[in-house]
Structure formats: structure tokens, C-alpha cells
Amino acid sequence: MKSVFLSLFFLSLVTHAQKLEYATLTIPDSLKQNANVVVRLNEVLVNIPSQKEMVVKTKTVTTVLNELGLSYLDLSENHDKNRKITKIEAVVYDAFGKELKSFKRKDFRDVSVADGVSIFNDNRALYLDYTPTVYPFTMVFETEVSTSNTAFLQPWSPMEGYLVSVQKSNMTITYKPELKLKVKEINFSGQATIEKTETASSISYAAKNVVARKREELSPGFAKVFPIVYFALENFSLENVEGTATNWAEFGKWYYQSLLADTEEIPVETQAKIKQLVGDEKNPITIAKLIYKYVQEKTRYVSVQVGIGGWKPMLAKEVDKLGYGDCKALTNYTRALLKTVGVDSYYTVVYAGRDDTKDLQEDFASVQGNHVILTLPTDKGFVWLECTSQVQPFGFQGDFTDDRNVLLIKPDGGSIVKTKTFTEIDNKRILKGNYSISAEGHLKGQVTIVSNGLQYDAHFNKIRMSKEDQIKVYKEEFSNINNLSIKKINLSDNSQAVEFGEELALEAEGYAQNTGGKLMFALNAFDQSNYVPKKHKSREFPFQVLRGYTEESEVEIVLPEGYIVEAKPDGIQLDTEFGSYKIEFKVLTSNKILCARKLVIKKGQYDKTKYESYRKFRETLAKNDNSKIIITKA
């Protein structure tokens, strides 16, 4: 009896639970190199039988090679009232392809996708909290989702991220031809062999054996380097509102009419208040300044992601009543207020983010973007208003939305324009100061710093900090000076001119090191850059310097009474395609030295072969910034 049972069990193991194709041994070595994860299969089947119907079936087979790969594993699926999960299940296998455990829908937890920023959104997710018992393991995850939203089709890329290999990936979209599918391929050169098949009502992409890449410092963003295909329907539906997107002009018109036109009403009382505020003023810029200030004082940013999937702004009159809203609500409210006094402005869709400048795809009209700002057309070009900030100066968008393609939504259509590029001349930081060194090596000095452009953006928040936090920030900024104490802080924010002023009095015990009766210290005490990019022995990706800037300083140094210079650094001048650097140490009188420094870093995209010379440039300047003088008793 026992033997029968055993052999039956064994049989079932072979036929049922063992999936040799999931065994880790069969993975080619080339895919294991640099990889924490190997995606064995990523299969997405999208079916769009009508404008209001879409079914997405996804099957991913993921081998997680080690603990570092675990965070890549995403066992979740979003749902909301228009998006239903009809199937969700997972099975995990060990390295030999033996089934370890399977999970059904009931094993997945239903949670709210509160992102921490939103005070409320109605998005939820089913997710599986899986603790691996062994590495490597292979997870087969299958979902099926049906939704009435056809405004977003997920893009496809043969790469799944850094340190992830892909053995096989494919995506097929089958659609009703009348809906007209648009496709945009980018970065399709070389990195992977991509197969494409197309019929009148379907399209599919596939790739095989894509090896893992490593992240490299200063690399452009994923979407700028990796191949990626975007899809969109010309005739789509967004939360049961039908739309068209043949081109940006038409898409903009639809956007305005469906999502904005009926949100503009401003209560009569507020209209009167605004008219009174504006008075006889005729200049649209001056009027916009008044109204921007009014909004900044009246409202605050609270993210409330409800209504049309978070795409339609809250009504302007609601914002007027509540005094808060998200980016869409506050932007639209400002626009509606401007409209009441006859000033035109445009609701503007953008991909916001400081670390990368992501464009809206210029020739590919579709629902894109993650943020909204307001654009004011003037004689001198566009003025950009960030309506979610209560402190940003008028017309100063900072590095959150600068230098990228955005979509202007006008009543008569949409258009793509580029926001302001802050150049190395705009982003200027000028420091002037002096300090003296005592015979004990103590430093005592003053500096004044004036910042403009994005340098303003980086510093102007200091004025709103507590004294304690200001001191903390300065100790970080001047971390090259030990035992620093800040004796005086005087800050001035000129938001008209977008100029930030800092005046500091500083002291530091033992700044100059006593070496056998001699004093040794870095002359450039206040303006040091120690940033040196990481060394990449062999580099694969190009690199970018996202924004340029200029730093200039002049500092006068008084040596202690009775000391003379024994040795002093020579200074250096470097002119490169990345920018320039010059530092000089001029002896003014027997006990006075002037340290003059200028660093200009240019914005740029560079070939990978130039990375090492950029790194060397930063290294040399960092070293010269810290070059030391030796003084000795006369």
C-alpha cells in the first residue's frame, strides 16, 4: 500500500509539479551576468474589441537569482471602479522547477494605494506579500484585467530595468481597426533584436535574450536610452468619456471641452473680489502677478485624486470654497480667475521631476504627463506658473518642470512647446568674502552669497527654516571646515528679481593645522566642490549633465601677524568642452592673499568615450579647490 502511494506521489510530482522549463539551470550564462533577476517570459496580450472595452492578460515568469532581485518582483495589480481584476494567481518554483507553493486570489491582499501624497484616491490594489524560502526561485504570475478605459495602453520595452535580463518578452495588441492604433518606437538602434508583426487589426512586438545592463552614473533616464514602444488609440475612452487624439491640436480641443470647459465657474463674490484686486490694471503680467499671489495666499496643495480617474480637475468654485486642491485643481482655479478679468492662460500638461527632464512625445498625441502647470502667453514669450507652491516667485518654475516639452491646452486646440531652459549664465552663484587666520590656526570671516536661477531654487527655502535647521544646513554646506560655528545669518529673498542673498559670519577653531610649528590650510575655504563622478572602468551608456551653472568667488585671506608664506599653491586654469575652471591665489600684500575662483559647468549630452575626461576634470578641480598653503613664523 505504502509503495503504491509513494509511486503515485512520485508520478504526480513529475507530471504535475515539475516544470523543467522553469528550472534555473536552463538559463544561459550570458543572461545571468550582471543580473539579479532573469525575466524568463513577459507576455502581454491586449484585446480592445470596442472603444470602451479592453482586456489585458499578463503572464510573467520571473527567476529571482538573489536577495537583491526581490525588490524587482512586483506581485500586484491595480483596480478601481472601472478596472476589474478577473484573474490573479501565482505559482512559485525552486531552482529545479519543482513547485513550492501556489497562490490563489484569496491569498492576495486588497489594499488602498494611498501614495502618502494623496489625502484621498480611490485606487486599490491586490498584492501578494511573498517571503522567499530559497534562492534562486521562479515566480509565475498571471493576471487578467478588464477595463472601460482605453486611454492608456501600456508601453512595451524589451528591457525591464537595470540588472535584469529578459529571456523572452512579447506584447500583442488586437483591436477594432476603426479605433486606429498609433505606435511610436524610440531608441530602436542596436541594443536588442526586436521582431515586429502587424495586421490590419493587430500588432505585436517580441524580443529574446536581452542581457542585463548596469546603471552608470550620469546616464540619461531609462526612456532616453532603452528601446521602448508607445501605443495609443486615436479613438479612446477615459472614464466613459469618449475622446479622439489624431494630433495634439485635436487632442487639446477634446481635452479642453471634456475635462476643463465646465469647471471654470467662479462665484460672483470672488469675481467681484478679483476685479477689485485688479482695479484699473491693464498689463496682463501685472494682473497675473496679483492673481498668482492671491492664489498662493488663499490655497494649499492637497492631493485629492477623484473624478475621471484623477484627470478632471476639481471645480474652480470648489477650490474657491475649500481653499485647497491638487495641481490640476489649483492650476485650473488660477486659470479661471484670470479668465474672469479677461486674461488668457493655458492649462499645461507636463512630466514633472527634478532628476530628469522628460518630454511629452512631440508627434504622438495621447494622454501623457504626471503634473499640470499654468502658461501665460505674453509679448515676451511664455511665463510659467507653478500653482501648487505657496512660496515660489511669480513666473519661476524651477527645476521641477524646466527645459522640456509640455502640452498647452487651449480652447481651440493643443500644442507642444518647450519650457524655459536655465543656462549656466542664469544659474549663477557669486560669493564674496574674507577671513583671517590667527596664530593658533583659528578662522574668522564673513561671506556674502548671491544666487540666481536654479541656484536660487536650491537655496531660497533656507529663509523659511528655523535657525537651528539653517545652522545644520550651513554646517553641511561648509563641511570642509571642521569645528565651524555660524555667528550670524542674514538672508534676503528678492522674489521680484529671483535673487537670494546670504550673509554669514563664520568662525572655526583649528582650521589651519599646526604641523611642526607651521600652519597649513586650504585657501579656498568657502567655495569647495568635492563632487567627483564614479569611476566606470568600461562605460556602456552616454552621459548627460542635465543643467549648467556658474560659481564665482573672491575671498581675501589675512595671515596671522609675523607669519610668512613658505609654500603656496599655483592655481590652475582648465578649459574643456564640459565647462571651465580657474582658481588663482594672488599675494596682495605680505599678509594678504586673494583667492579667486570661477567654475562654469555647461549643460550637455556626451558620448560615453568622453566620460573619463569629464571625471578627470571634476577630479582635478576638486583637488585644486582643496589645495593648501603653508605659512611659517618669520
Partner 1 sequence: MKKVVVIVLLFTNAIFAQKRELGKVTVEELKEKECPADSSAAAAVLFNIGEVRFEFLEGKGFVMKTRVRTKIKIYKKEAYELANKSVRYYIGNNVKERLNFKDAATYNLVDGKVEKSKLKSDGEFDEKMNKFWARKKIALPNVKEGSIIEYEYTLESEGLGVMEDWTFQMGIPVLYSQFKTIVPEYYVYKPLMRGFLIPKFETTSSNKTVSSTSKERSGGNITTTSFSNNQFSYNEITSVYTLENIPALKDESFVNNIKNYTASIEHELTSLHFPGEPVKNLSTTWENVVKTIYDSDNFGPELNKTGYFDEDINAVLKGLNSNEEKIAAIFNFVKSRMNWNEFFGYSCNDGVRKAYLDKVGNVAEINLMLTAMFRYAGFEANPIVLSSRGNGISMFPSRNAFDYVISGIELNGKIALFDATSKNALPNILPIRDLNWFGRLIRKDGTSVQVDLMPSSNSREVINVMASIDKEGKVSGKLRDQYFDYNAFSYRERNSKVNNESLVERIEKANSGMEVSDFEVQNQNDLSKPIIENYSFNTDNVVEIIGDKMYVSPLLFLTMDENPFKQEKREYPVDFIFPHQNKYNISLTLPEGYEVETLPQPTAVSMPENMANFKYNLSNNGNQLQIIYSLDINSAIMGSEDYEILKNFFKELINKHSEKVVIKKV
The residues that touch partner 1, with contacts defined as CB under 8 A, are 66-68, 101, 109-112, 114, 119-120, 129, 131-134, 297-298, 300-302, 304, 318, 321-324, 390-391, 464-468, 472, 475, 479, 482-485, 509-510, 513-516, 518, 520, 530, 532, 534-535, 566-569, 619, 622-623, 627-630
- One DSSP character per residue, 313-343 reads PPPHHHHHHHSEE-HHHHHHHHHHHHHHTT-
C-alpha cell at 529: 566642490
Could you list the beta-strand ranges (E) of 351-462.
Answer: 371-378, 381-385, 405-410, 413-418, 428-437, 443-452
The nearer residue to partner 1, 55 or 630, going by C-beta atoms, is 630
Nearest distance from C-beta of residue 625 to partner 1, angstroms: 11
Residues 274, 259 contacting (CB under 8 angstroms): no
Min dist CB 229 to partner 1, Å, is 31
Buried b (16+ CB within 10 A) or exposed e, 224-253: bbbbbbbbbbbbbbbbebebebeebebbbb
Cα–Cα distance, 433 to 506 (Å, whole number): 11
Q: What is the DSSP letter of 156?
A: B
Strands 413-418 and 405-410: antiparallel
- Closer residue to partner 1 in complex, CB, 43/619: 619
- Nearest approach in angstroms of CB 578 to partner 1 is 18
Of 100 and 417, the one with the shorter C-beta distance to partner 1 is 100
CA–CA dist 510, 298 (Å, integer): 50
CB of 421 to partner 1, least distance (A): 29
Cβ 346 to partner 1 shortest distance, Å: 27
Neighbours of 382 (CB within 10 A): 19
Indicate the SS3 state at residue 239: coil
277 versus 532: smaller Cβ distance to partner 1:
532
Pick 275 or 535: Cβ nearer partner 1: 535
CA-nearest of 265, 400, 360, 251 to 319 is: 265
Closest separation in Å from C-beta 111 to partner 1? 5
Question: 346 - beta bridge partners?
Answer: 375
Minimum distance from CB of 591 to partner 1 (Å)?
19
8-state DSSP, 103: E
Cell numbers representing residue 116 in the block: 502618502
User: What is the C-alpha to C-alpha distance for residues 53 and 260, in angstroms, rounded to an integer?
Assistant: 25
Q: Between 92 and 225, name the residue whose CB sits nearer to partner 1.
A: 92
Q: Which is nearer to partner 1, 185 or 469 (CB)?
A: 469
| CA 116 – CA 119 distance, rounded (Å) | 7
Sign for the pseudo-dihedral over CA of 442, 448, 450, 451: positive
> Could you tell me if 294 and 323 are in contact, meaning their C-beta atoms sit under 8 angstroms apart?
no
Residue closer to partner 1 (CB basis): 265 or 403: 265
Judged by beta carbon, residue 243 or residue 533, the one nearer partner 1 is 533
Q: What is the CA angle 589-593-596, rounded to 5? A: 135
Residue (136 or 542) nearer to partner 1, CB:
136
- Asked if 432 contacts 374 with a C-beta cutoff of 8 angstroms, the reply is no
Render 589-625 in DSSP notation, one character per residue: ETTEEEEEEEEEE--EEE-GGGHHHHHHHHHHHHHHH
Residue 260, helix vs strand vs coil: helix
| Smallest separation, CB 114 to partner 1 (Å) | 7
- CB nearer to partner 1: pick between 429 and 536: 536
The least distance separating partner 1 from the CB of residue 323, rounded to whole angstroms, comes to 4
CA distance 125 to 339: 40
Nearer residue to partner 1 within complex by CB, 379 or 476:
476
- Smallest separation, CB 298 to partner 1 (Å): 7
CB of 407 to partner 1, least distance (A): 29
Longest CA–CA separation in the chain, Å: 105
Q: Which is nearer to partner 1, 532 or 574 (CB)?
A: 532
Which grid coordinates are listed for 459? 537655496
The rounded distance, in Å, linking the Cα atoms of 492 and 568 is 36
Closest contact distance (angstroms) between CB of 74 and partner 1 is 17
Nearest distance from residue 273's CB to partner 1, in Å?
A: 11
